[in-house]
Structure 1
């Protein structure tokens, strides 16, 4: 008997040694194919590129995978317990492999021939997820075991668990528990309930099969298994188990946790990062910090949208989106089902009219239920006839609305207002004048409706926004702010075409001899043409080029003085920035810095500025543009500048700006600045040939309404004002210091010559101030050159 036991023991030893030798030989054979697991210490998880405002608000996210890596210490203990109870209950006890689980899987394979996935510890899953494919083969399983053993010798249990919980795919492009918490529940992991944690912990077995969004029944069954295992292992109490089991399956898809709406700017930042890092930008976890402040961007969004909707409102109501029924009304369920399929375009929400009273209407609004539309929200909606004609003012709600109408509404305080998608569009862009950093940018009414970025891409005729640059060239070529120019009609015969050119002022009023300061402030067209003639078209075009405007291909004609060249709103704001900052052309930029996932700075913006005009020239033009806001007097007569609405609204003396309107009012501009901010607002139709039209007074809307033609001062300027109210709130009024080489003189406002009386104080470059006193019939002498020819 002893002999047989000895032989049996020796046979066992032999088998054990043979197994060890076999494993050693197998290891040596596949060793060259095993990856270097030490790379896990420096692993870079594929994470999306995220775009932030300067103050940390998330603007957008780009990349196929949703992942937000977090440390294991940031994960709730119950969430970890849920995963361990389901995926690897002995995780903290084994050394990377679970012999019991492997034996069970082997037995199944030997008896059934099925190669089922199973017996993999969390460490093995890390090995597979980082280094291997998901094919079910014996050799892959053996490699997985060897890699798992290596990982256990290199990393701590917490490090392994952290890799696993950040790497694992959990459906809907979410990878890792933090991303899954956001995608399914719109929460941080620390805010999840036990039921939600168990739901996420049940996903690794089959992210599509047990998905709580697409398959809530199967998801609830899987959640029950997870909770049961947590109860069996003592991780939760019976009370917790019962409460979690009773919780509804409330998951729904949540997009990226966008906290600031700036899609046009986000796309600019996205393209910049892509140009620097290529396709890697989508997986490196880049954090791109833009130059915008969230409060300014929100103000810009609201200002442009309000301005475009205000234009649309005064031009009349174009009718409902659709008429859903004529006779029998739809049920509430039918209406709600229909509205669920309709898009929303902030701040517009789809709604259906269910009843109309004399001066009110009852609505069902998407996701908000029943609401009332009172008379104040309806009375504007006289009929739209054309861009220049509107119907009669409403007397009853039924003149605009009928039951069954699908309409748009927008909130106003606690009430709702009838609205419509505007056909007009626009842009607003703002810069820090000293650096060129973009502080706010909106490229249109709604990015979802149309992704064309008008702030950056829409080159439109400049109109009178060009005049400060024409005047800038004139001041460097023999003129001062006090120079007198004849504001009189021009009739220029063109022998080549056989036609005469008769440019007109807008309005068609002429004041005779007028100072340059007043002419620019009041946007006198014929004065701008006369200055261009005297300065010379080549000189003016060189000045435009210096400010950053492309004049290549522009006909060298006198129409240049009236704004025939085209520019984008961003180019326009950049040009005006040079007037605001003392004569330096800045390069606008939207990305302040780019960091990697560890916070290391990979890119830092370096603002650049190039002097293009003298500080004195910039100051003088800014002075004239300040008069465009605050007006002035001539010969005892008060006059308003074209931007007077900005002064009345903001009540700041440090504002300067210029309106701009092109032929037939196809484009409306306002560009203006303080030492702290420069901004340009533009309004127009995407159809270049469609004028902005005009409106008649609406008796229902009171006295404070825009009526008549659509111009820069009435259409674009209010948008600029609404933005600046927020942008300038933290910047005290600041007067610019007078440059060293400027002097002042008291001049007569009627002649521009020196005044014996009070007159007004004007600035001059040293040596250009007038030398004579004004008397009746006196002609001004400037630098020894008579400008009598400009008076008559």
Structure 2
């Protein structure tokens, strides 16, 4: 008993000394321990996510990939897998695992090896938030004390949730949500048992064990995790057997992008960094909602890319990217086709070769394996075989230059041969020989009422070029400038019925020593022509004469009202033909003025920004075009635009208060207090007249039945069968830039096509015998090159949208005129039509034929049988 008593006393002394030692260590390091209460308000570094207006993900930006999840949002099997391999007694221990600590201490004491961790999930959380990964005793001691503090502060579920969202899992992924996306392209609920085990095994060594870097290491670790899951009863033997036999297939995945708008995403990134700074933009989990609608964005991208493919095919095939095996001539048959003999590469070698080539957009790399009379077979990078039918090959005559193409091919063998490395794309459910387009393009769609960008594509592929041609490429606009010149003319005494002389101009230039001879394109001259018809037909010489009538200085001042910079507007007569250089975004903003009744709206892409908690921290308050709201005088608005919205609203409230009316403000007036009004830069009358004239650019005029019918340059848009389309084509000298800008009352759209090299012409496409009516031969122009993309986009964008006729402003008059002279007419046949006029600008004289008709009618009333109509006309 004495021996037992001494042993008990010794034990108590040892325990007391241990406790005193622990207390001493605690007070020694107490001041160095961080405040764990910060975990109560922890903000995980999460990337910024960019969405469409209908909540489709466009992109995300940030150093760390993280998808924060609530514990209840995680599948129970995933949580149990982590507990099985990392901390089986998590819900029982107070933050540290005594058994694990003694085991690690024994290893250190006996071998000096610090590799044994024994850290609980709580300790790992403490380390991840507050400490380094260095394997030192003092760090371990701090980790233990922090774990006790955390357990006192947070519940077990809170600790586990933080851990599973914070843990580093390799490839810049943090948390289980991000890991599931990065390694498998799935949400956590889509993971299989073996994939869950792979992710649960990553915390031990995220870099060495991730399945992308080392499938063998990942498999070995996965199997250990599966064993622990089986031992702890998380899975049964059947599930274990299936998971252990599953192959490790993983590759890096980006965010689950559901809407392709990379140019918009980059615009948003730049704006957010400028507004909030890089640290907030990239790590505070901002949710940015744009003005873009996913369906319209998809339609814009498809229209632009298909249009570029069509242009590229018109100008010929530039040949294969390379030859994997170069054959030698063996014999020639009667048709001149060369047959070759050489051992081709094996399938595995071809697939391995193709795996090193990344596709661009919808283009796939392939290697031709065999060729028959009018078909070819090829292997894709995934090892599958495809067949290229004649319809997917026959376009591929050889490219000689931008203006010349080779003869139409007669067989597949004259286009491709075995061993050729080519690119193909799937079009209308069949494979088609293709190539990366060399020409560029841009398309932008705008809501004319507030400037919201509904769709924007800045080039064929953002992965090919990050240069945003919508916002950065200033290109000559060609005839797209004419509506603005004609708008200026309407402000200086002209009407849509005014007659101009469509005849060649020859003006001697003393400085240059040559004559300036602007020409129509095509070089057809109609003589006396009404302004409406001249605009619709895009008559160059009429535009020049109008500019002369208005005056260059007056015209430039008028064009500046549309937001165009004076530095982009040449101070000479070439301005009337489109020598001004503007971006597509600037141009579509100008056209929006005609669509909305005369108001200049500012384009924007960010509608609102939410914090990680869903709180709105920024809301764009767009200036709106409102014909029924308070109006500023157009002339004043053009010269002195308000510097900020508050000044404009202040003026509005002052005028409302000063109004001599006892009535209470209407609901519309109260709602207006929350809106900013866009400045009115041209009159509603002017905007309507140009918009209405541009409908003639689509539908033309005259009578086809009587041989007087004519088409506008955008007549191909008639296929949309809508009367609410206003459009204008544009082509610059030597076909270097082509445009189509147009609008409905609710959507303004501009398309540009050209080469990034501004000196390169889009050229001419010759007749192609294989294509028949499928082709568009001739010089590339706005109507041939840019219009098809505009048409394809609007076909989707306007699908299901009711036709919205232009609203005729109050005060405009509509009178019947003679189509030849522009004078008044009382006739109602094909030689006359109604035309709109601003008050006081209507013609006052009648056409000669009408005067004769009046005389005849009067005479018939007095002497019905005295003379015939023909007698009077002959007289």
TM bracket (short chain): over 0.9
Residues of 2 paired with 1:117 and 1:580: CA distance? 72
2:404 corresponding residue in structure 1: 389
1:149 corresponding residue in structure 2: 148
Question: Using a 3 Å threshold, how does the CA distance of structure 1 residues 5 and 358 change in structure 2: closer, same or farther?
Answer: closer
1:298 corresponding residue in structure 2: 298
Residues of 2 paired with 1:294 and 1:204: CA distance? 38
Residues of 2 paired with 1:357 and 1:250: CA distance? 37
1:631 corresponding residue in structure 2: 700
> Does residue 1:512 correspond to 2:511, yes or no?
no
Residue-by-residue CA offset, 1:412-464 (whole Å, 9 max, x unaligned):
22211111111111111111111111111111111111221111111100100
3-state DSSP class of the match of 1:146?
A: helix
> Does residue 1:479 correspond to 2:494, yes or no?
yes
Residues of 2 paired with 1:432 and 1:570: CA distance? 12
2:515 corresponding residue in structure 1: 500
3-state DSSP class of the match of 1:638?
A: coil
1:612 corresponding residue in structure 2: 681
Residues of 2 paired with 1:208 and 1:401: CA distance? 45
Residues of 1 paired with 2:219 and 2:54: CA distance? 40
1:313 corresponding residue in structure 2: 313
Residue 150 of structure 1 deviates from its aligned partner by 1.0
Choose the corresponding residue for 1:742, options 800, 805, 812: 812
Question: Using a 3 Å threshold, how does the CA distance of structure 1 residues 383 and 636 change in structure 2: closer, same or farther?
Answer: closer
2:746 corresponding residue in structure 1: 676
Residue-by-residue CA offset, 1:42-100 (whole Å, 9 max, x unaligned):
11111111111111221112112111010111111111111111111100001111111
1:764 corresponding residue in structure 2: 837
Residue 346 of structure 1 deviates from its aligned partner by 2.0
1:643 corresponding residue in structure 2: 714
3-state DSSP class of the match of 2:421?
A: strand
3-state DSSP class of the match of 1:230?
A: helix
Deviates more, 1:527-536 or 1:596-605: 596-605
Residues of 1 paired with 2:580 and 2:251: CA distance? 51
> Does residue 1:401 correspond to 2:416, yes or no?
yes
CA contact (8 A) 1:117 1:136 kept: no
Residues of 2 paired with 1:473 and 1:489: CA distance? 22
- Once the two structures are superposed, the pairs formed by residues 237-248 of structure 1 within 5 Å of their partners are 237-248=236-247
CA RMSD in angstroms comes to 1.6
1:568 corresponding residue in structure 2: 583
Residue 580 of structure 1 deviates from its aligned partner by 0.7
Residues of 1 paired with 2:141 and 2:620: CA distance? 51
Choose the corresponding residue for 2:782, options 712, 716, 737: 712
Residue-by-residue CA offset, 1:279-298 (whole Å, 9 max, x unaligned):
12111111111111111111
Residue 492 of structure 1 deviates from its aligned partner by 0.9
Residues of 2 paired with 1:412 and 1:554: CA distance? 42
Residue-by-residue CA offset, 1:622-659 (whole Å, 9 max, x unaligned):
01101001001289711100000012x21100000100
CA contact (8 A) 1:65 1:175 kept: yes
CA contact (8 A) 1:383 1:391 kept: yes
Residues of 1 paired with 2:482 and 2:212: CA distance? 59
Residue 475 of structure 1 deviates from its aligned partner by 0.5
Residues of 1 paired with 2:390 and 2:770: CA distance? 10
Question: Using a 3 Å threshold, how does the CA distance of structure 1 residues 79 and 466 change in structure 2: closer, same or farther?
Answer: same
2:538 corresponding residue in structure 1: 523
3-state DSSP class of the match of 2:722?
A: coil
CA contact (8 A) 2:351 2:383 kept: no
2:64 corresponding residue in structure 1: 65
3-state DSSP class of the match of 2:101?
A: helix
1:127 corresponding residue in structure 2: 126
2:217 corresponding residue in structure 1: 218
Residue 507 of structure 1 deviates from its aligned partner by 0.8
CA contact (8 A) 1:51 1:288 kept: yes
Residue 672 of structure 1 deviates from its aligned partner by 0.6
Choose the corresponding residue for 2:363, options 335, 341, 348: 348
Choose the corresponding residue for 1:752, options 822, 840, 861: 822
Residue-by-residue CA offset, 1:275-327 (whole Å, 9 max, x unaligned):
11211211111111111111111111110011011011111112111122123
Question: Using a 3 Å threshold, how does the CA distance of structure 1 residues 347 and 116 change in structure 2: closer, same or farther?
Answer: closer
Residue 5 of structure 1 deviates from its aligned partner by 4.4
> Does residue 1:597 correspond to 2:666, yes or no?
no
Residue 553 of structure 1 deviates from its aligned partner by 6.0
Question: Using a 3 Å threshold, how does the CA distance of structure 1 residues 9 and 368 change in structure 2: closer, same or farther?
Answer: closer
Residues of 2 paired with 1:234 and 1:491: CA distance? 95
Residues of 2 paired with 1:626 and 1:480: CA distance? 16
3-state DSSP class of the match of 2:209?
A: coil
Deviates more, 1:768-777 or 1:31-40: 768-777
1:701 corresponding residue in structure 2: 771
2:728 corresponding residue in structure 1: 658
Residues of 2 paired with 1:89 and 1:270: CA distance? 43
2:353 corresponding residue in structure 1: 338
Residue-by-residue CA offset, 1:575-616 (whole Å, 9 max, x unaligned):
111111111111111111111221111211111222111111
Residues of 1 paired with 2:707 and 2:419: CA distance? 61
Question: Using a 3 Å threshold, how does the CA distance of structure 1 residues 6 and 334 change in structure 2: closer, same or farther?
Answer: closer
TM-score scaled by structure 1? 0.96
1:787 corresponding residue in structure 2: none
Q: How many residues align?
A: 776
- Once the two structures are superposed, the pairs formed by residues 25-44 of structure 1 within 5 Å of their partners are 25-44=24-43
CA contact (8 A) 1:67 1:176 kept: yes
2:872 corresponding residue in structure 1: none
Residues of 1 paired with 2:383 and 2:517: CA distance? 57
CA contact (8 A) 1:316 1:390 kept: yes
Residues of 1 paired with 2:256 and 2:232: CA distance? 35
TM-score scaled by structure 2? 0.87
Deviates more, 1:547-556 or 1:404-413: 547-556
Question: Using a 3 Å threshold, how does the CA distance of structure 1 residues 553 and 565 change in structure 2: closer, same or farther?
Answer: closer
Residue 6 of structure 1 deviates from its aligned partner by 4.3
Residue 543 of structure 1 deviates from its aligned partner by 1.7
3-state DSSP class of the match of 2:207?
A: coil
CA contact (8 A) 1:676 1:731 kept: no
> Does residue 1:85 correspond to 2:84, yes or no?
yes
3-state DSSP class of the match of 1:343?
A: coil
Question: Using a 3 Å threshold, how does the CA distance of structure 1 residues 313 and 553 change in structure 2: closer, same or farther?
Answer: closer
Question: Using a 3 Å threshold, how does the CA distance of structure 1 residues 676 and 555 change in structure 2: closer, same or farther?
Answer: closer
Unaligned regions of 5+ residues in structure 2, if any? 328-341, 624-677, 852-875
Residues of 2 paired with 1:305 and 1:204: CA distance? 44
Residues of 2 paired with 1:45 and 1:454: CA distance? 36
2:438 corresponding residue in structure 1: 423
CA contact (8 A) 1:551 1:565 kept: no
Residue-by-residue CA offset, 1:163-215 (whole Å, 9 max, x unaligned):
00001011111111111111111111111111111111111111122222222
2:651 corresponding residue in structure 1: none
1:267 corresponding residue in structure 2: 266
1:785 corresponding residue in structure 2: none
Choose the corresponding residue for 2:468, options 434, 450, 453: 453
Residues of 1 paired with 2:190 and 2:776: CA distance? 50
CA contact (8 A) 1:115 1:136 kept: yes
CA contact (8 A) 2:444 2:457 kept: yes
CA contact (8 A) 2:347 2:383 kept: no
Unaligned regions of 5+ residues in structure 1, if any? 779-792
3-state DSSP class of the match of 1:552?
A: helix
> Does residue 1:168 correspond to 2:237, yes or no?
no
Residue 252 of structure 1 deviates from its aligned partner by 2.1
Choose the corresponding residue for 2:794, options 715, 720, 724: 724
> Does residue 1:380 correspond to 2:395, yes or no?
yes
CA contact (8 A) 2:826 2:850 kept: no
